Structure 1
Amino acid sequence: MVVRLQPALGAVEDTAKPVGRDRVADHGVMHDRNSRTRPDVSALAVRSERKEMAESGHRTRERVVGTVEFRGVGGGDARAASVPRLPAAPIHRHAVCERLNRARDIGGGTALLSSVAGSGKTVAVVSWLECIGTRGRTVAWTTLGEQHNDPVLFWDTVAASVGAPTATPDPSPRAAAAALLRWLDATPGEVVIVLDDAHVLHDPITLSALSFFLSRLPKPVTIVVAARFDPPVAWPQLDASGVLVRVGGDSLRFTRDETRELFEGERVRVSESDVDEIVGTTRGWAAMVRFVLLLFAETGTRPAALDSLTASRRPVAADRIVDELLASMSPRTRRFLAATAVPDDFTTDLAAALAGPRAEHTLARLLATNFPISRTGSGRSEVYRYHPMMRAYLLAELTRTMGHERRAALDAQVGRWFERERQPDRALGHLVASGDHGEIARCVAESGPRAVWSGSGTAWLRALDDAPADIGGDPFVHLLRAMHAVRHREFGGARAFVDIANAAVGSDLCPPHVFARLRVAVTRDVEGALGILDAGDVPPTDRPDVECYVALVEARTDPAAAAPLLHRALALAEHVRIPELELAARALLAADAGAHGSLTVMAGRAEAALAFAAGAGLRQSVDAARSGALLALQRYLTAEVPVRGADPAADPVAYALAELDGLADSDDRAVAAQTIARAARRSAEGPPVPVAGPMLALATTWMLLELHEPEHARSVVRAAHDLYGDVAECEIGRAAIDVACGHAGDARVRLDSVLTRTDPSPSRVDALVLRAVVRAEAGDRVGSDADIEAALLAAEPERLVRPFLAVRGAMALLDAGAGRFGCLDEFAETIRHRPDAVHARSAVILTAAETRVLRQLPSPCTAGEIAAVLGVSVNTVKTHLRGIYGKLGASTRTEAVGAARAIGLL
């Protein structure tokens, strides 16, 4: 490999960065800044040429370890220098090498490495040159300086770097570029030209000629341009022509594997969690990763090393950042940076509020120069965030140059802005940091309820921990903490906070009538969750946010009057724009419709709630899960539209209903049934889901009884009872288990009790169908016909077909009464002729003893061995076998096992 390099006019590029005032760090390199000198270019060239000719007698010299040398061209202005030397082998930058190789593969391609100082561009290019090999290739490296804005000097330098003639008949820059192109086209072998620090170029004539040059490269030539930001070259045209490969900051960032490899190469041991924290803190910024490595080596402890990175009083990277990124910026820009570093992230609107109307222009300029700032979103929703280590320095600079009072004023300004934007947790955090007692108290009183009801309640209360003690310990705050605890089902803590608030005379944060109203509502909310009587009532307030919460609490604790209260809560939530409360009201309105038997209305309201949740970013909330479960329930009971699958962790009720809906298509019904039963029990451990939760327990009970699993069914009913209390669905489930266990009399008593209630819930159809079956088996044909007809009458308006498919024996009653149901015949025939009704019609009912024998049939045991296992006589086993074969329509043991598996008995 023949390599031609131009002198590094002043320094190794962007990876040589200061650790202190006099030291500069690179990845594996330490340089003394004061020892760097500018070499005499002509003297270097002469000495290089003479050395080559004297030692080798050839025009080329092979590369030696640690240095890449170049041949001179006789009579030309040959210049020689060393590549940035790396005493330790650099780690392989896979992503960068892959993109640089892509530029080589193009043939006449250009690679543009554009990223902030310290991102490792130089080291990445050097390591790539190491990777591509040493034979049959000419490499020329030129580190550009301000003087190269002279177009004549620029083209003479580039030409000399590859050994091309520097004198041309036409002295114009474009003619020089064209002459170099012709020379490169005639030169055999591959040529790689590296133009480092290209961001210093600004002369229009030089840049125009460079654009012309890059657009016409011969195929054996690859140009690598490294810069801190894109020099103003015609990059879009090159990109459109397919000859440009960009290598940006994303590709140059250190990955977890590369970070680990760097540390291991320096024999510094780090754990996986350390690597995660290093990458998270440095964001893969190469120079900063190297700083962390040095800190680990110096401090010897992980916390000390990582904490010092973003310590606002003296960031370890301060000197380096000032020298490389901030020194050339105007005072106006530095004030902008300091002010906008106060929030963790910011929009253009917040930036304008903090630093003036030219914020958008300043941000665009920072992005164009690859300043370490990230941008997400689009339009007015764009959010900007500084690199965490840069932000730490900027905050330190803000305090040092403007004082603590200015920092506090900016925190207060940011807090008020976030308050207006309805981000209470961030608002409170900045107001607490400002130390303004009056502003903190006002924020807590006005925004506290909104914060607790929103998804940021935990963060808001965490920020409140740092507030003055008299604010954090106010009884009003204890009520807010109780509300938050109830929302997260921490009822013990909620009760304790309520007791503290009730023991207080009043609050210093809000008027007495507001405190009294909120105290009663929170007490009722907590006691309702604990199953205690409500706590009385007080007159309404003029706070719509408080009244919205009060209406929701009253609706939950007084189902009979829920509908008007929920409509009021919905209107208030829309007025005060609290999406969490609006979604809660929508979900409860859907549940209220279902509780009154209006499943179509329930489904419509649930769909509307889900659409609202998606638009408000609340799709993962508890109320969105409740709405999804209610929609799934309606689809399951009507069996017209397949139930959409759901996340088993976030929405176990909807997930279990979807699995129940697809049970008939399962390859292994027994395994699927176990999965459904586990999901049903798990749903009873989470937040209650009105209507859908109890109905899921009942549906799961029918399934388990179909598979002869009464004990599992009993555990599901028990879990539902623990969460929902003595609801009708639990009593119907117990009745079904009684029937399966041969206690029809007990079942009849339970069912009579359920059906005497005026509750119009959808489970009433299940109770009527089951009682019809029980009466039929007891010989009460008249009562059975009356119940099955009453079930059809109750089910027909909402087209509830599932109870007739789920209750064993129901299809036989429909078959027996076919054509005798009058105006209900059409609905009955719809059920009877469903494809999935075949299973229900041919349902096999085995006794408990027959079930025990059936479970032994897949084994190789003989009848005598089965008798020994079960502790009965051989004749008893044979009697049960005859009963099993008859019910399954089988004549052999193999046929019986196959039939039992086909219908889910095994």
Structure 2
Amino acid sequence: EEEDPMDYSFDSNTARAATVESPAAAALPELGFEPVARPELCVRLDAAMTGPGGQVIAISAPAGTGKTALVLDWATRHLARSRPDTEIAWLTVGAGGTTGDEINITVAQSVSRSAESGRALVLVIDNAHLISDPAAIGDLEDFLATAPAHVTTVLSARHDLPLRWHILELPGRLTRLHATDLAFTGTRAGQLTRRHGCALSEAELTTVLRLTRGWAALLRLAAVHVTTHPDRAAALTELECPPQPLADFLADEVVAALPGALRESATALGVPESFTHALAARLTGATPDPITELTRLEFPMTATARDDEVWYTLHPLLRAHLLASLRRGGDTRLHALHHAAASWYLATDRPMAALPHLVRAPDAELLSRFLRENAVRLVLDRHGTSLFEQLRQCRSRALDDPFLGALRVLDALERDDAGKAIVCLDLLFRQPRRSGQIVPAGSIAPLTLAASAGIARATGIGLSDFRPPAPFPESGHPDIDGYAVGELGMALLARGDYDEGEQLLNRAAALSDCAAIPRLRVRAATRLALAAGIRDELGPMRRQAELAVALADRHGLADSPDGRRALAAAAFTAYLRGAGTEDARITRFLAAQRLPDPTTGLPSGRVTDVIAQLLAFDDSEDAYTGAEALRRSAVVLLRGPASLPALSGRLLPHIVRVLIDVRATNSVRLLTDQAEAVLGHSADTVLARALAVLPERPRAARGLIAPLLVDVEAARPLETVTALVVDGVAQAALGQPGAARDTLERALLAAAPDQLVRPFLDVPGAGTLLDAHIGTLGQHNEFAERIRRHPRLRRKSAQPRLTPAELTVLNQLPSGRTAAQIADVLGVSVNTVKTHLRGIYAKFGTGTRADAMELARRSGML
């Protein structure tokens, strides 16, 4: 009798069950210990008995997963309580196979006796996978297809028999359980180990479960290994490469059961962490690949959908066992398999997956080519640490190559570790000058220049003196040159050389297209959006930002730092055009940007955080706390060495508006003083001060912005529009309505091409100015009306609270109709209209229609 090593249960002689005697029938298994109760599985088995027709329960799982123990516990203990009149017939197929006649006699006698007694019957055929006689399989299939309704047949096997399962599945008569259903987890696993005298701590049990995946036999053997080892921590580590008892079990009960050729194929599949049908075919040379047959035989592996393909992963301990057997067989086959896996991953553009195999395949030329073609991309994708660690573990000589030394600097910069970048660059310069084996010597110079530019921008040290060499050294590798030119362009932007910096960024974008590195292309487009933003060129800024977001989405980079910067640029362009948190671009950016708690979190000083806080302010639950958190973040940004001064300046007027909204006068003064100390007397600091003094000192505000209006044609659009709106509001406050209207018209003219709405929302009093002159602005009336209807437009005077009926009458006043005519239009009495008019006049504090209309316009209600 062949049974799974862990398919044991308690002595069942005392259980309430009726066994049927026949030439093949045996008593219920008598097992040496009481199993762990699995009520959640017993309930599923109970439910399987209630379906239409004769039900079939197929339990297919590898050896030692607890099939027999589960069925025996359910049949003898659980059914004795839930269905006490159920008869049990148990047939265990022997190692030599059970003949069809024996099975037929057992089935016939069992069904006959249960029919005579009128009881339900559970017929268990254990070790069903050992039925090999085609006639016996055919007879079993015929019986299952026509089984009486009171019979439930349980087939417990290591793998499915070759039956036509669809004839059972289509009418809903088949219930399946596999290894994943039988796996022990959490509490049940702890009960199992304790029941066998192998109690584990919670941490130990977590590790054991991770390695065994709840496979009962392995779980018990691993627990025994840990609890009997003098050093339990060492024992847990040893489990990564299965100790002898676990290895023997896997070899004898799992691997040895496979046919010879399939066993060789399965061993080869232990080399990669996971594999597809194509990779399996490459490693095994088998046609068709062995996955289908291994799946049919319930070989322990899981399938996961990833990258539009199905990836298979072997059980971790089984894979470790197969790798160990490959190592014992010598290096030749193992190296060949690693080489084949690496080549396949590279051919399918999966360089990071190829790396573990490359470092284990003794092919220095292939590794050098891999590093030459992929190392920059891996560093940009934040895999630099893993790259260097895997090279270190295999003691690769490539680590001494100057190319890898330069990449260490770039890796540190990518992880915002300027200190380490400085150390790595210093070590690189201290090395003796020599040619590397990976890239030509000329390829190192662009990387070291990029590293120097990145360090200068990150620390602020030497930035003002930084000059790119002329001509710029190029390596001929688009990934190296694209990265280097982009870093130099950003360094020039940071020091204020906008023209040359933008030229380099455009070149970096072209090179990144040639390099076909998505992250580099997203970064280039985002940087061009920033450059356009610094110039106040909203059209190009919006196009580049949207391109960057689209590229990030296409290549799965939306949640990366580069992707979030692209989202920030797109959201900010929408913000300048008047969008709020209802806009999808802003909503998406705020969801992706993880902001600290404004009450407890420390400001990061990252520009993306400052933009997110600014865009989220209007919906803040606590406006003052949100405004102060924004101010603190802005101060850290201004003081940070890595900031782009021009970009920080562009944000300043918007941040000042937020502080004005919460009447944080002192905070406004502090921020503008700090900004001026960093940025100097720039247009942005002038506008910030003008916004601060405008409500109380309009004449002073005009004096501040006067220099900005000297040459409007040469000025930046956002700067010009904001200055003109400030000037118009100040003129109105000083009693110059005609001049104010003309200035407002100029502001609308300058704002219209890019639909710049934000200056009108930010400048205090702009709403009142628009209300006063709506209808007199010629071709700009439509744009002005859209701004007036903006929900975020601020007005000095609050709108009176009119009833819906009063609002309806108010909207009729500009028509010039009399009260009687309005009554006819609305279908109400003239007295009703007059009553509403009196209410309108009273709420506006006036006694005439003309004054009411003027006040309604000023408050934005008309």
TM range (shorter): 0.7 to 0.9
1:384 to 300, 309, 312: 312
Cα distance between partner residues in 1 of 2:90 and 2:678: 74
Q: Using structure 2 for the length normalisation, give the TM-score.
A: 0.78
Question: Which residue is 1:90 aligned to?
Answer: 36
Alignment deviations for residues 682-720 of structure 1 (CA, whole Å, 9 cap, x no partner): 697799799998766654542342122346667888999
Q: Which residue does the alignment assign to 1:452?
A: 379
Name which of 550, 558, 577 aligns with 2:516: 577
Whether the 8 Å CA contact 1:552–1:569 is kept in 2: the answer is: yes
Q: Which aligned pairs between 1:792-871 and structure 2 lie closer than 5 A?
A: 792-837=748-793, 842=798
Query: Aligned AA for 2:275?
Result: F
Does the 8 Å contact 2:68/2:156 carry over to 1?
yes
The answer on 1:523 being equivalent to 2:474 is: no
In structure 1, the residue matched to 2:3 is: 12
C-alpha distance 556-191 of structure 1, shift in aligned 2 (>3 A): same
Verify the 8 A CA contact 2:280 2:291 in the aligned structure 1.
no
C-alpha change, 1:715 and 1:288, in structure 2 (3 Å) is: farther
Corresponding position: 1:132 with 2:79: yes
CA distance in 1, matches of 2:667, 2:261: 72
Partner secondary structure for residue 393 of structure 2: coil
Aligned AA for 1:502? F
Q: Separation in 2 of the partners of 1:830 and 1:638?
A: 12
In structure 1, what residue type is equivalent to 2:331?
Answer: H
Aligned residue runs from structure 1 range 311-330, under 5 A: 311=241, 314=243, 316-330=245-259
- Asked if 2 retains the 8 angstrom alpha-carbon contact of 1:705 and 1:740, the reply is no
Contact 1:630 1:692 survives alignment (8 Å): no
SS of corresponding position for 1:325 = helix
1:582 positional shift:
1.8
Say which SS state the counterpart of residue 384 (structure 1) adopts: strand
Structure-1 residue corresponding to 2:602: none
Q: Does 1:614 align with 2:553?
A: yes
Task: For 1:247-286, list aligned pairs within 5 A.
Answer: 247-265=177-195, 270-286=200-216
**Could you tell me which residue of structure 2 aligns to residue 536 of structure 1?**
468
Residue aligning to 2:49 = 104
AA partner of residue 638 (structure 1): R
**1:230 matched to 2:153:** no
Residue type at the aligned position of 2:29: V
- The alpha-carbon deviation at position 831 of structure 1 amounts to 1.5
Match of 2:583 in 1: 643
CA distance in 2, matches of 1:411, 1:399: 12
Cα deviations by residue, 1:59-86 (Å, 9 ceiling, x for unpaired): xxx9644x6764566xx65844233525
**Whole-angstrom distance in 2 between the partners of 1:344 and 1:744:** 73
From 327, 330, 334, the counterpart of 1:407? 334
2-side partners of 1:676 and 1:133: how far apart?
Answer: 69
Quick check: 1:479 aligned with 2:406? yes
The 1:189/1:654 distance shift into structure 2, 3 A limit, reads: farther
1:430 aligns with 2:357: yes
Judged with a 3 Å threshold, the aligned counterparts in structure 2 of structure 1 residues 430 and 597 are, in CA distance, closer, same or farther, namely: same
Partner of 2:326: 398
Residue in structure 2 matched with residue 554 of structure 1 by the alignment: 488
Separation in structure 2 between the aligned mates of residue 87 and residue 754 of structure 1, nearest angstrom = 93
Q: Which residue of 1 aligns with 2:275?
A: 346
**1:869: which partner in 2?**
none
Retained in 1: the 8 A contact 2:695–2:764? no
Q: Hey, what's the Cα distance between the residues in 2 that align with 1:150 and 1:321?
A: 29
Tell me the equivalent position of 1:900.
none
Q: 1:703 and 1:84 mapped to 2: Cα distance?
A: 79
Corresponding position of 1:867: none
CA contact (8 A) 1:736 1:747 kept: no
List per-residue Cα deviations over 1:150-188 (Å, max 9, x = no partner): 32111113344x3x5xxxxxxxxxxxxxxx5xx655542
Aligned equivalent of 2:817? none
1:369 is aligned to 2:309: no
Contact 1:146 1:201 in 2 (8 A): no
Alignment of 1:60-209 (within 5 A): 64-65=13-14, 70=18, 79-92=25-38, 94=40, 96-106=41-51, 108-129=54-75, 130-134=77-81, 135-145=84-94, 148=97, 150-160=99-109, 162=110, 164=111, 184-185=114-115, 187-209=117-139
- Structure 1 equivalent of residue 603 of structure 2: none
Question: Judging changes above 3 Å, is the alpha-carbon distance between structure 1 residues 396 and 663 closer, same or farther for their aligned structure 2 residues?
Answer: closer
Secondary structure of 1:195's counterpart equals strand
Q: Provide the TM-score with structure 1 as the length reference.
A: 0.75
In 2, the alpha carbon distance for the partners of 1:152 and 1:223 equals: 18
**Cα deviation, residue 611, structure 1:** 2.9
- The aligned counterpart of 2:657 is 702
Over residues 550-592 of structure 1, what are the superposed CA-to-partner deviations in whole Å (9 max), with x where a residue is unaligned? Answer: 2322332344245554444334333332111122123223334
Greater CA drift, 195-204 or 421-430: 421-430
SS for the counterpart of 2:6 is coil
- Counterpart Cα distance in 1 of 2:499 and 2:337: 51
Between the aligned partners of 2:539 and 2:5, the Cα distance in structure 1 is 66
Asked if the contact 2:653–2:691 (Cα under 8 Å) also holds between the matched residues in 1, the reply is: no
Partners of 1:223 and 1:689 in 2: how far apart? 74
Change (3 A) 1:721 1:552: farther
Distance across 1 between alignment mates of 2:517 and 2:674: 34
**Separation (CA, whole Å) in 2 of partners of 1:236 and 1:716:** 74
Relative to structure 1, the CA distance from residue 654 to residue 840 in structure 2 (aligned partners, 3 Å threshold; closer, same or farther) is: farther
Matched residues in 2 for 1:784 and 1:727: separation? Answer: 25
Tell me if structure 2 keeps the 8 A contact 1:13–1:196. Answer: no
Q: Report SS of the residue matched to 2:622.
A: helix
* Distance in 1 (alpha carbons) for counterparts of 2:652 and 2:376: 35
Distance 1:700 1:542, change over 3 A: same
Sort the Cα spacing of 1:128 and 1:82 in 2 relative to 1 into closer, same or farther, 3 A: closer
Offset at 1:324? 0.9
Over 3 Å counting, the alpha-carbon distance change for 1:717 and 1:198 in structure 2 is: farther
**SS of equivalent to 1:799:** coil
Q: Deviations over 1:774-811 (max 9, x none)?
A: 56556676775565444322221122223312332111
CA displacement at 1:392 relative to structure 2 = 0.8
The whole-number CA distance in structure 2 between the counterparts of 1:493 and 1:186 is 84
Correspondence 1:713-752 to 2 at 5 A? 732-733=687-688, 735-737=690-692, 745=700, 749=704, 752=707
d(CA) in 2 for partners of 1:467 and 1:725? 54
Closer, same or farther: CA 817–87 of 1 in aligned 2, 3 Å: same
Separation in structure 1 between the aligned mates of residue 263 and residue 645 of structure 2, nearest angstrom: 56
Residue 221 of structure 1 aligns with an amino acid whose one-letter code is: V
Determine helix, strand or coil for the equivalent of 1:338: helix
- Identity in percent: 28
Aligned length in residues: 768
Alpha-carbon distance, 1:634 to partner: 3.0
Q: Please give the alpha-carbon distance, in whole angstroms, between the structure 2 residues aligned to 1:718 and 1:353.
A: 67
SS at match of 1:116: coil
Distance 2:723 2:251 in 1: 77
Please state whether the residue corresponding to 2:457 is helix, strand or coil: helix
Q: What amino acid is the match of 1:219? A: A
Residue segments in structure 2 that go unaligned for 5+ positions in a row: 493-497, 596-606, 801-842, 846-858
How many Å apart are 1:295 and its aligned residue? 1.9
Q: Which amino acid aligns with 2:663?
A: H
Which whole-Å CA distance do the structure 1 matches of 2:67 and 2:678 have between them?
61
* Residue in structure 2 matched with residue 873 of structure 1 by the alignment: none
Residues 591, 691 of structure 1: 8 Å contact kept: no
2:258, 2:240 → 1: CA distance?
22
